Amino acid sequence: MHTVKLLFFASLREALGRSEEIVEIPKGVNTVADLLSWQCQRNLKYQRAFSADKQIQAAINNQHVSSNALIIYADEIALFPPVTGG
Amino acid sequence: MHTVKLLFFASLREALGRSEEIVEIPKGVNTVADLLSWQCQRNLKYQRAFSADKQIQAAINNQHVSSNALIIYADEIALFPPVTGG
Amino acid sequence: MAFFVQKKDFCVNHELAKLQEKSSNIGAIVTFTGCVRGSVNGQLLSEMFLEYYPGMTEAELERIENEATKLWSLQAIVIIHRYGKLQPGDRIVMVATASVDRCSAFEASQFIMDNVKKRATFWKKESFTNGESCWVDNREQDFRRLQR
Amino acid sequence: MAFFVQKKDFCVNHELAKLQEKSSNIGAIVTFTGCVRGSVNGQLLSEMFLEYYPGMTEAELERIENEATKLWSLQAIVIIHRYGKLQPGDRIVMVATASVDRCSAFEASQFIMDNVKKRATFWKKESFTNGESCWVDNREQDFRRLQR
């Protein structure tokens, strides 16, 4: 079993009504892209929160990662909308 | 007779030992370039102070003017080395 | 090289003085200060809320500073970015770069600000006097959609 | 739009506050501060003397500001340039530009500084701890001659 702590920020956190969640990653969910599409299939709220136009991005070990990045070694993954600092 | 007040600044002022001078502009000295070469012919001190490598520039009515600018209407002409502000 | 993520405001004079202590040969200091605007797309702003990702944000700012010092010869850099509730006119961020020459200070400051905007994990939520509020990223998308 | 040619030092905080009073919609402020360097070409500086041409200098700074406001949409500009005797580490000049967006503020600030350097009628004389002193323009020429 691959247990991962997901962190949610900003509008994603608000849409899901939570800032983090411990999940068991199903077999075959190997990349960030897989993770996002799995989130979409969970329920309507998640489907809307993770829809493509939301452009949700990910970070592992305090580093931005692209959608094809492998998540199989990650124990914590941050998910968030595009950053708007500065 | 065309009387003009010349103003000297920075290293030019120091080389000539004066910050201004009233001069009678001789016939045929019509442009800034003419004025500079006339200054060179006045004496050794002026010749060195106005030598080409000094790149002396001019301003009339608080505006930079190029070497071919006419001076025949000017009653005050500032002469100075390249500016080094900022 | 220093970076701070903090709630409280900062004093530009104080930061410039600290910067100048770092080297006696500083000829040029460029500062960029980003502030909360009074209105956005004609809507009067009442408040801005800034969220950030503790840990990653600081790591990203440090990476950006390291990249800048490799690209330009800089004597000092400071980045300060606030979070939490801010009012119109408040300072949000300051980037200051010090160098012997003007071009390095300018170019490095722009590089750092561009990258803070693209990579530093901050998110802005704007509240308006008409009671509405929205995350800036959504507004950007709506704004772009409006312009199509 | 404001410009000051003065002997006394200036307070960056104070200038930024005055700038922000000019408009409630300022999103970006860029400041460039030029300082007296501690050493030049390895020679320790003891003092800098700045001469200027009263009347023309102010007129030139105003022309530069007017050109900048035609090229970028700026909410405020301030240029402060000192003259007289300055010590290493002292502030010589500050250019601050305020705009809704970051790029205008940066580009205008660089434009103004480049033009102040090329056109504003100031001259610097540097004195060194070894007793020597020279006008910067001569030093530049000597420096260039040395490099040939």
pLDDT band, very low/low/confident/very high, at D139 (cuts 50, 70, 90): low
Q: Which of D56, D59, D113 sits opposite B86 (nearest CB)?
A: D113
Residue D96 DSSP SS3: strand
Structure confidence at residue D24 (pLDDT): 87
Please state the pTM of the whole predicted model.
0.92
C–D interface: beta-carbon pairs under 8 A = 91
Structure confidence at residue D148 (pLDDT): 43
Q: What helix, strand, coil percent values describe chain B, rounded to 5? A: 30, 30, 35
Q: Which of B53, B63, B85 sits opposite D117 (nearest CB)?
A: B85
Pairing outcome for strands D43-52 and C43-52? unpaired
Q: Per-residue pLDDT tens for A43-66?
A: 999 999 999 999 999 999 999 999
Q: What is the biggest distance separating any 2 CA atoms in chain C, rounded to whole angstroms?
A: 52
Residue B10 DSSP SS3: helix
| In chain A, residues 7-66 whose CB comes closer than 8 Å to chain C | 7, 9-11, 13-14, 53, 55, 59, 62-64
| Closest to C40 measured CA to CA, from C145, C119, C142 | C142
| In chain D, residues 54-83 whose CB comes closer than 8 Å to chain B | 55-56, 59-60, 81
- C14 CB-near residues (< 8 Å, 6+ apart): none
Percentage of residues in chain C having pLDDT higher than 70: 93
Q: Per-residue pLDDT tens for B13-53?
A: 999 999 999 999 999 999 999 999 999 999 999 999 999 99
- Checking if the pLDDT of C130 tops 80, the result is yes
Structure confidence at residue D147 (pLDDT): 47
What value does the mean pLDDT take over residues C50-73?
98
Structure confidence at residue C141 (pLDDT): 52
What value does the mean pLDDT take over residues C87-113?
96
Question: CB-side exposure of C115: number of CA atoms within 13 Å?
Answer: 20
| In chain D, residues 7-46 whose CB comes closer than 8 Å to chain B | 34
Cα-based distances in Å from C122 to A50, A82, C51, C77, D114: 19, 9, 6, 20, 34
Structure tokens at B68: 């071919």
What value does the mean pLDDT take over residues C99-115?
96
| Chain center to CA of C13 | 17
* Contact of D47 with D85, CB cutoff 8 Å: yes
- C147 CB-near residues (< 8 Å, 6+ apart): none
Structure confidence at residue D1 (pLDDT): 86
Structure confidence at residue D138 (pLDDT): 60
Bridge-partner residues for C74, per DSSP? none
Q: Per-residue pLDDT tens for C73-95?
A: 999 999 999 999 999 999 999 99
C12 and chain D: CB distance < 8 Å anywhere? yes
